A and B are shown apart, each in its own frame.
Chain A
Amino acid sequence: MTATKVNEKEMPGVITNCVKDSVSSIFNTIFGVVPDYCGDDETKDIGDGVVGIISFVGDSSWILMLALPKTSAETLAEKFCGFKVEYDSPDMGDVIGELANVMAGDIVARMGVEGVKVAMSLPTVLRGNNVEPFMPKGLPDKKMHYTMLGKDLMVKVAVAKPSDQLMGATPGT
Chain B
Amino acid sequence: MSYDGKKVLVVDDSSVMRQIIKKNLKELGFADISDAEDGAQGLKKLGEVPYDLVVSDWNMPKMTGIEFLKAVRADGGMKGTNFIMVTSEADKAKIVEAVEAGVSQYIVKPFNANQLEEKIKAIFK
Residues of A near any B CB (own CB < 8 A): 26, 29-30, 80-83, 85, 90-91, 94-95, 97-98, 101-106, 108-109, 112, 120, 122
Contacts and interface: CB of A to CB of B under 8 A. Distances in A.
B15 A105 contact: no
Contact of B89 (A26, A29, A85, A105): A105
Contact of B109 (A81, A90, A105, A122): A105
Interface in B63-95: 87-93
A102 B17 CA distance: 12
A95 B88 CA distance: 14
Contact of A122 (B15, B19, B20, B59): B59
A29 B59 contact: no
A63 to B, nearest CB: 16
Contacts of A98: 14, 16-17, 109
Contacts of A90: 15
A108 B23 contact: no
B-side interface size class: 20 to 34
Contact of B15 (A29, A91, A120): A91
A12 B3 CA distance: 50
Interface of B: 14-17, 19-20, 23, 59-61, 87-93, 108-110
A94 B89 CA distance: 17
B68 to A, nearest CB: 15
Contact of B90 (A30, A94, A108): A108
A26 B88 CA distance: 11
A122 B87 CA distance: 12
A171 B96 CA distance: 19
B91 A108 contact: yes
A80 B16 CA distance: 10
A81 B19 contact: yes
